[in-house]
Structure 1
Amino acid sequence: MTVIDIPAGSPFGLDNLPYGVFSTPGTEPRVGVRVGESVVDLAVALRDEVFARPSLNAFMAQGHERWVQVRRQIAELVSGDVPDAAVHPVADVTTHLPIEVADYVDFYASEHHAANLGRLFRPNAEPLMPNWKHLPVGYHGRSGTVVVSGTDIVRPSGQRKSPDEDAPTFGPCRRLDIEAELGFIVGTGSDLGSTVPAADFATRVFGVVLVNDWSARDIQAWEYVPLGPFLGKSFATSISAWVVPLLALEAARVPVPDQEPKPLPYLRETEPWGLDIDLAVSWNGHEVSRPPYREMYWSPAQMLAHLTVNGATSRTGDLYASGTISGPEKDQRGAFIELTWGGKEPVEVGAEERTFLQDGDEVTITATAPGPNGSRIGFGEVAGRILPASG
Structure 2
Amino acid sequence: MDGLLDAAAKGARLDFDTAQALYRHADLHGLAHAAHRVRLRKHPEPIVTYVVDRNINYSNVCVCACRFCAYFRPPGNPDCFVLSHEQIGKKIEETLELGGTQILMQGGHHPDLPLSWYEDMLAFIKGTYPIHIHAFSPPEVAHFAKISGLSTAQVIARLKAAGLDSIPGGGAEILVDAVRSKVSPNKCSARQWLRIMEEAHAQGLRTTATMMFGHEEEPDDRLRHLFAVRESQDRSLRGARGGYTAFIPWTFQPENTNIAARKLTSVEYLRVLALSRLVLDNIDNVQVSWVTMGPKIAQLALFFGGNDFGSTMIEENVVRAAGVSFRLSRQEIDRLVLTAGFTPRQRRMDYSQVPQAQTAAAQEALA
Specify the TM-score bucket, using the shorter chain as the normaliser. Answer: under 0.3
Q: TM-score, normalization: structure 2?
A: 0.28
Which of 1 and 2 has greater Rg? 1
TM-score, structure 1 normalization: 0.27
Higher strand share: 1
Bigger helix fraction = 2
